[in-house]
A and B are shown apart, each in its own frame.
Chain A
Amino acid sequence: MLAKRIIPCLDVREGRVVKGVQFVNLKDEGDPAELAQAYGREGADEVVFLDITASHEKRKILLDTVRRTAETLFIPFTVGGGILSIDDIRDVLDSGADKVSINTAAVKEPNLIKKSADAFGSQCIVVAIDAKRVYKINEGKTIVETSEGLCWWEVYLEGGRVPTGIDAIEWAKRVEELEGGEILLTSMDCDGTQSGYDISLTREISESTNIPIIASGGAGKPEHIVQVFIEGKADAALAASIFHRGTHPISEVKSYITKKGIPVRL
């Protein structure tokens, strides 16, 4: 049976992990390669690196990090952030990443999804969608009844700074048509709150498409992950601080999830 995936996310800048990560027995706790390996040992199913440095010189540092990670990590890893073109995708994959995550560039040029899926295979093209609730009944948007009221979800770009007016549910369907392999769905309302994922958003997108959905934004405790799998129908759960702080190690989260009857790899 296909297991639900638990995916820690590391924020990387200039080759270093920027958010504090608490692990014992690490020689260099800022080194993404070493941290990814530590997560792998703990039972992570995949690892995601998000690098927001987009400048050309700094991309070289990222590619070097990717190369070093690929040499020691025997689980899949995804690299996202600042990927604008087919060439960027090729660089990251050639350096040893298994998948790339594209966001802004995909919205600006949707055909990039199709072109990169044709070139490298759908399986390595993750499309990241950052979505925020809009509590207005705008015409032409997919209005959903949530416990907080009627709303639709708007796609944001540039790391959540730029609203687009695009309906996230419609965009997710389009991503599938363009042969994106997976959707990394972040709720901007929930991100950083540690009060749980946006279950309605995740469920709506998961039920509107037939490709795997990675839920992101809001994980604060193991119960949230169970909830996003059962009620949100997510295929994978991504989280950062819950794992970095070391308060809920991946192994503990996984054994909790197993007890709730959800298949995970132990």
Chain B
Amino acid sequence: MTSISVINYGVGNLHSIKKGLEKAGSEVKILNNVNEIKKSDAIVLPGVGAFAEAKKNLHSLQETIIQEAKNGKPLLGICLGLQLFFTRSFEGRLTDGLNILQGDIVKLPTTVKLPQIGWNTIEIQRPSLILDGVSDNNYMYFVHSYYAKPDTAKDIVATTEYGVTFPSIFEKDNITATQFHPEKSGKTGLIILKNYVNTIRK
């Protein structure tokens, strides 16, 4: 069975992501231990809350995550996890991210209510294994005030509109990231998690 580490760095609710990945047929451990994380087949970086605070909490694990990403291990970032993959964030004071993906994290326009909280649609930009059984305009659950502005558009799998069109799914080699919460996106979200688990090769 595929083993997945969900990284626990003190940022909220990990119950649903654990259950969602288990439902998808993987063995899930919630971890903050470097050696254990290295042993798993894939790593999930979850997260809600503030970027700088999360980055600080992640400190002792960040080299491991960067190294594992370079080694080709499948990595999934969710919400703030996605944002942490990027080069830097403008949330609060300018803070460096993990730079696994290149680009900036910037604020959604204030012409719309912030945070964006709720169900929004994804527009699929290119086919992906993780979207098997998911259609254009399916609803996902979003909670965020910032979004990723990548240096290159080629890793964007889907986009979403909220005051601005922003990338809601990224895929680059072994790196996958969603701005929405698949573990909170009902049936469709569970399909995405299942597809993701299926893409992880033992």
Interface of A toward B, CB cutoff 8 Å: 1-5, 40, 45, 67, 70-76, 93-98, 118, 120-124, 181-182, 210-212, 235-236, 265
Q: What residues of A have a CB within 8 angstroms of the CB of B13 in the complex?
A: 70, 93-94, 96-98
**Contact of B110 (CB < 8 Å), options: A5, A67, A93, A210:** A210
What total of chain B residues lie within 8 Å of the partner, measured CB to CB?
37
- Closest residue on chain B to residue A210 by CB atoms: B113
| A1 and B117 within 8 A (CB) | no
Q: Is the interface of A mostly helix, strand, loop or mixed?
A: loop
Question: In the complex the two chains form, is B117's CB within 8 Å of A75's CB?
Answer: no
A-B contact pairs, 19 of them (CB 8 A): A1-B120, A2-B120, A3-B119, A5-B118, A5-B119, A67-B15, A70-B15, A74-B20, A74-B183, A74-B187, A75-B184, A93-B12, A93-B13, A123-B48, A123-B117, A123-B144, A210-B110, A211-B114, A212-B117
A255 to chain B, nearest CB (A): 15
In the complex, what distance in Å separates the CA atom of A212 from the CA atom of B119? 13
A72, B16: Cα distance in complex, Å: 8
Knowing A98-B13, A236-B118, the reply to whether A76 touches B19 (Cβ < 8 A) is no
A93 to B117, CA, bound (A): 17
Q: A74, B16: Cβ atoms under 8 Å?
A: yes
**Chain B residues, Cβ within 8 Å of A235:** 113, 117-118
Which residues in B have some Cβ–Cβ distance to A below 8 Å?
11-13, 15-16, 19-20, 48-50, 53, 110, 113-121, 139, 141-145, 161-162, 181, 183-187, 189-190
Question: When the two chains form their complex, are residues B48 and A96 in contact, meaning their CB atoms are under 8 A apart?
Answer: no
Cβ–Cβ contact B121 & A1, under 8 A? yes
- In the complex, what residue of chain A is closest to B181 when comparing beta carbons? A76
Whether the Cβ atoms of B115 and A123 lie closer than 8 Å is yes
Please determine whether A121 and B119 come into contact, CB atoms closer than 8 angstroms.
Answer: no
Given contacts A5-B118, A74-B189, A74-B190, contact A124 B48 (CB under 8 A): yes
Q: How far is the CB of A28 from the nearest CB of chain B, in Å?
A: 20
Across the interface, do B139 and A3 meet the contact criterion of CB distance under 8 Å?
yes
Instruction: Give Cα A123 to B142, complex, Å.
Output: 10
Q: Tell me, in angstroms, the Cα distance from A121 to B145 when the chains sit together.
A: 11
- Bound complex: CA A95 to CA B14 (Å): 9
B11, B113, B145, B184 — which one has the most chain A CB atoms within 10 A of its CB?
Answer: B113
Q: Are A76 and B116 in contact (CB under 8 A)?
A: no
Which of chain A's residues has its CB closest to B19's CB? A71
Q: Give the residues in chain B near A120, CB-CB below 8 Å.
A: 12, 48-49
Contact B118 A2 (CB under 8 A): yes
**B57 to chain A: closest CB distance in Å?**
12
CA distance A147 to B24 in the complex (A): 54
Q: Which of B118, B162, B187 is close to A45, meaning CB atoms less than 8 Å apart?
A: B118
A74 touches B185 (CB 8 A): yes
A266 to B4, CA, bound (A): 32
Complex CA distance for A121 and B181, rounded to whole angstroms? 15
Q: Once the chains bind, are A121 and B20 in contact (CB under 8 Å)?
A: no
Q: Are A121 and B118 in contact (CB under 8 A)?
A: no
Q: Which residues of A contact B181 (CB under 8 A)?
A: 76
Known contacts A3-B119, A95-B15, A181-B117; can you find 10 more A-B pairs with CB under 8 A? A3-B118, A67-B15, A71-B19, A74-B184, A74-B190, A75-B185, A96-B16, A98-B16, A121-B12, A182-B117
Chain B residues contacting A97 (CB-CB under 8 Å) are: 13
User: Could you say which residues of chain B place their CB within 8 Å of the CB of A124?
Assistant: 12, 48
Please measure, in the bound complex, the distance between the C-alpha atom of A162 and the C-alpha atom of B180, giving whole angstroms.
39
Chain B residues with Cβ below 8 Å from A1 are 120-121, 161
Assuming the A-B contacts A2-B162, A71-B15, are A265 and B190 also in contact, with contact meaning beta carbons closer than 8 angstroms in the complex?
A: no
Instruction: Point out the residues of chain A lying under 8 angstroms from B118, CB to CB.
Output: 2-5, 45, 212, 235-236
Q: Give bound CA distance, A96 to B19, whole Å.
A: 11
B53 CB, min distance to chain A CBs, angstroms: 8
B144/A72 in contact, CB under 8 A? no
Whether B115 lies near A70 (C-beta < 8 A) is: no
* CB-based contact B19/A72 at 8 Å: yes
Least CB distance from A190 to B in Å reads 23
Nearest 8 A/B pairs, CB to CB: A121-B49, A96-B15, A70-B15, A265-B139, A123-B143, A265-B119, A3-B119, A2-B120
Shortest C-beta distance, B96 to chain A (Å), equals 20
Task: Knowing A70-B19, A75-B141, say if A121 contacts B48 (CB, 8 Å).
Answer: yes
Chain B nearest CB from A219 CB (Å) reads: 18
